[in-house]
Structure 1
């Protein structure tokens, strides 16, 4: 019975984070979403940090649906770009992208974030790096990754993605999406071996 309650809490918290990456995961809000008492939640997760860490740790093993990296018939650069486009798609364009940035600004920029908010942000950031690094390790195993640490390459690619997400929230037209695809291809090329490098 206890594990069922714990699982309900984790599912509710993960769902809340999926809907809003800046969600505070307050004890009261998560307990209400899970349909359990705050006492039950505190029994399994005495602190907000423990709840956040457990939820994020559970996401490390989740495979993205239709992960483009699995399509080994496509060239490495195309697969990596498609993976990065998955990250961009989670935020969307136009009003959806503006809402995402408003939430980020309110949570972390408008005023000094609490220690718990910083902890949650850094946990999310580590998770994003983990996903990109996992893609890059797959490419390294295929001999397609350029020399260097996958973690460093992952942070570089996420910096490019964050820049594109910022642009999505700003006024622009549809030509921006074409530029976005070319930017992602340039970034992918920077972390991959040239296709011709395996020739004698």
Structure 2
């Protein structure tokens, strides 16, 4: 039965949650479109610029970006071509392989990325009104949902604790071997710069 079936939805909280998440997803799309139009770019091009701003050099390659955004290399390459033409990025070619390159923001691209990175501020405002307990419940639930979607293959690349070699569950307690510390649920990371993918 579809979550969008109004009669079934009335008495099924699972369906209501799915539809609520769809509405929030729509808000992200609207805000991203607004930001992209202001800069005469596509939404994915804005997302790429923001990604380049906050992630390390080894992740700033076409193949990694394709996995990150669940798109083909060809689609990412098209966006990179446009960004390069608009002088928003530079390509740093490998000394050993002339076909391989790392993507970096130009000064012009960095300015757009730094401004565009705040496109979610309208979504952050209502969250700031939640109590600490509400935030922890929402965050814990979303982390478990992302983990499940990743496990089932709906979303691929995830730099979260559950997929990291440094993560362990000891006596029902989250533990990071890199930090040598137990982690509270709210300390789990969704996108960790020190993430090392666990090989299954």
Shorter-chain TM-score: what band? 0.3 to 0.5
Richer in helix (by share): 1
Structure number with the bigger relative contact order (C-alpha 8 A, sep ≥ 6) is: 1
Richer in strand (by share): 2
TM-score (norm 1): 0.32
TM-score (norm 2): 0.32
